[in-house]
Amino acid sequence: MKKATKVMALAAAMVMLACTLTACGGSSKGGKLTFGTNAEFPPFEFVTSEGVIDQYDGIDMAIAKSIAEQNDMTAAIENMEFDSLLVALQNGQIDAVIAGMTATDERRETVDFSTPYYTATQVMIVKEDSDIAAAADMADKKICVVQGYTGEVCVNDMGYPYEAFKKGTEAVMELVNGKCDVVVIDSATAQKYVSDNEGLKIVEDASAFESEEYAIAVQKGNTELLEKINKSIEAMLADGTVNELAVKYTEAVAE
């Protein structure tokens, strides 16, 4: 082979290798992968001074960043109300939703979900001296939930009256201030609120609350993006990355 041909062959081989390593091609929105979230849900997403993506940090944010990088894209975050996420996804304002979102049958009617990456359950946060020991004990109590969360769906299905707040912190403040008796919310987030606020405890009731699986949502039928996301998540589950992130951020927020 002549020298020039050799150099070209080498260059071509390197490009091919780079493509294999970074999964070239098929990038969405010019190499940017925009995730919608509601950064009010520690340890999965919260706002901090130096996050993994801009000011956003948490387990989901680290997963989003890695998914984008594994597919040779850059992750961007659009922070919005939890209730607006699926609409924004359907409008094409965002490419995917990563928000500690439980893959429910109801949501599956409008979006497609990735391979699940985290198992959670609803729990009850109560004052330390509360007599609530099971979900049925909420019957005559004042219940707080967060609007649009699966916790609201559960309490609604149980037939109990409740008050819904826009943010988890608002619901927990009602409890701290003695204006409500119990907050129903996802387990890891509950843990964070209990470690942040004196005098609260968690009550579990596995017979009343089914386990839930968090997954990333994409537009219905967007199989190209879904396959990329699934491949990346499966790699992060297999090599222990998701687990490491869960441990890291649970400890970080428990400080």
Name the region of 23 (left: φ>0; alpha: ψ -120 to 50; beta: rest). Answer: left
Task: Give the integer Cα–Cα distance in Å for 172 and 167.
Answer: 9
Pick one of 86, 101, 138, 183: the residue that binds ligand GLN (CB under 6 A).
Answer: 101
Q: Measured from the CB atom, is 43 or 100 closer to ligand GLN?
A: 100
99 lies in the binding site for ligand GLN (CB under 6 A): yes
**Segment 43-72, which members bind ligand GLN (CB under 6 A)?**
none
Beta bridge partners of 77: 35
- 8 A C-beta contact, residue 55 and residue 49: yes
Minimal distance, residue 79 CB to ligand GLN, in Å: 12
Pick one of 57, 95, 112, 186: the residue that binds ligand GLN (CB under 6 A).
Answer: 186
- 8 A C-beta contact, residue 237 and residue 229: no
Tell me which amino acid residue 127 is: K
Task: Give the integer Cα–Cα distance in Å for 227 and 212.
Answer: 22
**Segment 104-163, which members bind ligand GLN (CB under 6 A)?**
149-150
Stretch in the footprint of ligand GLN (CB under 6 A) among 70-78, 99-107, 175-183, 238-246: 99-107
Tokens of 64: 């989003």
82 lies in the binding site for ligand GLN (CB under 6 A): yes
38 lies in the binding site for ligand GLN (CB under 6 A): yes
Query: Which residues here bind ligand GLN, judged by CB under 6 A?
Result: 38, 41, 82, 99-102, 149-150, 186, 212
